Amino acid sequence: MLSAARMEVIKQTVPVLEENGEALTRHFYQRMFRENPEVRGFFNPAHQHAGTQQRALAAAICAYARNIENPAVLAGAVELIAQKHVSLGIKAEHYPIVGENLLASIREVLGEAATDQIIDAWAEAYGMLADLFIQREREIYHSQTKTHGWQGFKRFVVQQREAASDNIVSLYLAPEDGQPLQPHSPGQYVTLRLTPENGVPVMRNYSLSNRPGSARFRISVKRELAGEAGAPDGVCSNYLHDRVKQGDVVELAPPCGEFVLKPVVEAGKPLVLIAGGVGITPILSMLHAALEQQVGREVIFIQCALNGAVRPFEKELAALRGDYPNLSVHVRLSEATAEDRARALHDSEGLLDSVLLDQLIGNRAAEFYLCGPAPMLKHGWRLLKQRAVEDADIHFEFFGPAGDLAA
């Protein structure tokens, strides 16, 4: 436990961290990759290039400093990060590397403002935080072994490829050793590791889009193209689209993630699942589980997509809608084409809005799960808060480094 004096030192650093947080974290990553290149593979270069990784770390450091007297309020954030660390294979021996580079970066970026008193206080605070993560991650690793039968990476065979849309390919993966899969928690992701032609292994998290308890895992991967000049195309997604074929072998780590469908708490409360683009992948797994496990519960599924060509899982959703009378599916396209209108397979056009929510839900209380691109999540969160939905009834997941929906 930090002394009161050191807690006060940490709190006094909050303003300077808020002002210099991104500069500090940019410097930290550059320094760590230079001094300890062995950890570079844990990080997605696209997130580094976009600055989202740096901003997420800066926000986390500031949040820890602001709540240094009561870090328990950060339990949700700690769980999210611990799950992510386990998915990538981060272990206790990696924490000293981070600590050394973080403290050195504080000195190098803040200069004379980083007194010995500040460095000593942050060294102790970091040590406490590292111990917290190490303990929780040890528990998750143990749970993975007990539930799924392995930890680390295991060889899986690509048994089938199929297009989910024009820009999303689904891969069906089975263990090479023939061992049966245990059900994942609906909403979880796996980590895929492969080595493209440059010989540098890459790891990426992909949500499981299959029904929990299926004989095979299914990941459904969007081809990620550079969003701006100079930014890299998605290394892993493009390799999966262009090079990985049926019969190939990839490596998977066991399912991880805290964005999972929760048991019913209040009988009669509808479940509303809102998916944007490839964000449908964990939501679709939740949908399968809810229909099978939460029998008779009203389920409202809202799928948002740009147009019909990039709308995934059209046939699967149509089949579910036909099989379950308690399920209603509403498809909204933001930029519907003439072909979309001719086929008449969508229900409305435009962005998610309060009119649609009123139409589908009315003034009833409901439980919401959202996944999609950050702008859609922020927009959806604001719509739900305008409806006075309690925070406990709003569950969401960012693809990529976590952000702040209220920002």
Active site residues: 95, 137
* The residue to which tokens 């895992």 are assigned: 217
Minimal CA–CA distance to 211: which of 181, 251, 239, 245? 181
Phi-psi map region of 207: left, alpha, beta (phi>0 left; psi -120 to 50 alpha): beta
Residue-wise burial string across 57-92, b where 16 or more C-beta atoms lie within 10 A, e elsewhere: bbbbbbbbbbebeebeebeebbebbbbbbbbbbbee
Instruction: Write out the DSSP string of 200-253.
Output: --EEEEEEB-SPTT-SSEEEEEEPP--SSTTPPP-HHHHHHHHT--TT-EEEEE
Up-side HSE of residue 44: CA atoms within 13 Å toward CB?
26
C-alpha span between 297 and 267 (Å, rounded): 8
Give the pairing of strands 394-398 and 271-276.
unpaired
